[in-house]
């Protein structure tokens, strides 16, 4: 639980708030740049599909007595065109080729065994036909379509169709970025990649549903008041859940990053990098999209409704009235301060002049006193 006065608690109470929804154009531009780079990699360079999808042959040979260059030369000499040779840790070397006949496969096995000073039985062989790879691809696409339909129905029934549309936009955003970065870095697409991709779809939707659930709570009965618009309430929901989303993502990214950078990078466990890269990119993209893409896009859709337009008009009118009253109050306070300041100045002036005798006023009073006739006694007034 967040401590009293912490950033999380202040965000949840609304004491401080970041205008995420109001700055949606900034987030759209950032997403557009990343998506453009991903599309350049996807359509420019293309995906490096593994033999499970394109078909071919894979050979693994112990690497104690040979190098990658020696194995590549041996494979080329045995008739393999453009073989892909990679190290699998410190103990084995993998050779991937196009589809080979049985005779060509046996020749390549003998060449690898001779080059690496081992026996043919130590060379592992995996042959995959292009038909099987096509079936795997079709099954993966069918599963993805069924998954999207199920998700759309669930979000529409639990929330509404606009939230379902916003969630699917964020989902497409995450998938395109993940696949595009895969194409840019040239990582091989394997069944592990597909597993990782489906996993991040679930994570992205989970994070989006958490935010949308808070939006639904904050906007329940919102048209009955005139203090905040739909976008204001949705922005409050994003601020209330942003700390939770970031913390959840960090916890998820730490082990995936360890697999990607330590396992695949330092220890050379190449079989893990296909899964780890998809998980790492997808998790980061899913966290970003649920906050900066899904909710702003939802607000755009909702603000087009007539009742939300009417609400925005009432809120604007109320706020303009409050601003006018605040301005009038500020004007009155300023006028009062000005009067008080003038009074203080006059008092100061009177005090400063009172220390000197006013001879003019005194002379005027003295002359006025001399010009008045003196009172006569009653005896004298009688004789006259």
pLDDT for position 293: 94
pLDDT of residue 271: 59
What CATH number does residue 211 fall under?
1.20.1640.10
* Residues 221, 255 within the same domain: yes
Q: How far is CA 279 from the centre of its chain?
A: 16
Whole-Å CA distances, 215 to 14, 294, 302: 14, 11, 12
pLDDT at 138: 82
pLDDT at res. 1: 42
pLDDT of residue 77: 86
SS3 assignment, position 129: coil
**Residue 82 structural domain:** 56-128
Mean pLDDT for back-to-back runs of 10 residues, the chain (384 residues)? 58 74 93 93 85 82 86 87 79 84 87 89 82 75 87 92 94 92 84 82 87 92 90 92 86 84 58 78 90 94 92 88 72 69 58 50 48 49 43
78 and 196 fall within a common domain: no
Which one-letter DSSP state was computed for residue 121? G
**Residues 174, 292 within the same domain:** yes
Q: How far apart are CA 56 and CA 46, in angstroms?
A: 18
For residue 117, give the CATH number of its domain.
3.30.70.3400
State which of 90, 105, 128 marks the end of a domain. Answer: 128
| Statement to judge: residues 234 and 249 lie in one domain | yes
3-state secondary structure of 166: helix
User: What local confidence, expressed as pLDDT, does residue 266 receive?
Assistant: 54
Axis crossing angle, helix 270-289 with helix 191-218, rounded to the nearest 10:
20
Contact between residue 234 and residue 215 where contact means Cβ atoms under 8 Å apart: yes
Asked if 66 and 39 sit in the same domain, the reply is: no
Of residues 38, 51, 43, 45, the one with CA closest to residue 189? 51
Measured CA to CA, the distance from residue 218 to residue 232 in angstroms comes to 10
Write out the DSSP string of 195-238.
Answer: HHHHHHHHHHHHHHHHHHHHHHHHTTTGGG-SS--HHHHHHHHH
Q: What local confidence, expressed as pLDDT, does residue 365 receive?
A: 47
For residues 275 and 195, the answer to whether their CB atoms sit within 8 Å is yes
- Give the total number of structural domains in the chain: 2
pTM: 0.72
Same structural domain, 300 and 258: yes
Beta strand extents in the chain (DSSP E only): 48-49, 56-62, 84-88, 92-97, 124-128, 188-189
Q: What is the pLDDT of residue 65?
A: 83
Q: Find, among 308, 296, 304, the residue nearest to 20 by Cα.
A: 296
pLDDT of residue 173: 93
* Claim to verify: residue 168 and residue 250 sit in the same structural domain: yes
Q: Which two tokens stand for residue 22?
A: 């109001």
Domain end (from 128, 145, 162): 128
Structure tokens that stand for 45 in this block = 């360079």
Contacts of 132 (CB under 8 A, 6+ apart): 52, 55
pLDDT of residue 359: 46
The per-residue pLDDT for 323 is 67
pLDDT, position 163:
94
The reply to whether 114 and 61 lie within a common domain is yes
pLDDT at residue number 172:
92
């Amino acid at each position: 639980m967040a401590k009293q006065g912490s950033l999380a608690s202040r965000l949840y109470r609304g004491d401080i708030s970041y205008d995420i929804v109001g700055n949606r154009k900034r987030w759209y531009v950032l997403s557009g740049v990343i998506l453009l780079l991903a599309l350049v990699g996807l359509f420019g360079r293309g995906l490096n599909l593994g033999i499970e999808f394109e078909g071919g042959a894979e050979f693994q040979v112990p690497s104690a007595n040979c190098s990658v260059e020696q194995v590549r030369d041996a494979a080329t000499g045995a008739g393999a065109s453009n073989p892909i040779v990679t190290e699998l840790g410190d103990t084995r070397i993998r050779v991937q080729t196009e589809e080979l006949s049985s005779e060509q496969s046996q020749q390549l096995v003998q060449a690898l065994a001779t080059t690496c000073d081992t026996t043919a039985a130590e060379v592992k062989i995996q042959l995959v036909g292009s038909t099987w790879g096509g079936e795997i691809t079709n099954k993966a696409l069918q599963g993805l379509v069924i998954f999207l339909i199920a998700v759309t129905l669930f979000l529409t029934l639990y929330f509404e169709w606009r939230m379902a549309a916003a969630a699917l936009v964020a989902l497409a955003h995450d998938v395109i970025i993940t696949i595009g970065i895969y194409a840019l870095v040239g990582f091989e697409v394997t069944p592990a990649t597909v597993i990782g991709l489906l996993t991040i779809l679930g994570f992205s939707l989970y994070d989006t549903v958490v935010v949308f659930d808070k939006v639904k709570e904050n906007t329940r009965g919102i048209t009955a008041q005139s203090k905040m618009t739909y976008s204001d309430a949705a922005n409050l929901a994003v601020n209330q859940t942003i700390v939770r989303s970031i913390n959840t993502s960090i916890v998820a990214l730490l082990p995936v990053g360890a697999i990607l950078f330590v396992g695949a990078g330092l220890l050379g466990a190449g079989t893990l990098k296909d899964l780890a890269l998809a998980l790492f990119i997808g998790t980061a993209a899913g966290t970003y999209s649920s906050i900066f893409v899904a909710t702003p896009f939802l607000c755009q859709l909702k603000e087009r409704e007539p009742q939300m337009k009417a609400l925005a008009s009432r809120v604007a009118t109320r706020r303009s009235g409050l601003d006018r009253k605040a301005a009038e109050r500020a004007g009155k306070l300023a006028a009062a301060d000005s009067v008080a300041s003038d009074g203080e100045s006059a008092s100061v002036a009177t005090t400063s002049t009172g220390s000197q005798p006013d001879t003019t006023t005194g002379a005027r009073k003295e002359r006025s006193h001399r010009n008045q006739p003196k009172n006569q006694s009653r005896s004298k007034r009688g004789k006259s």
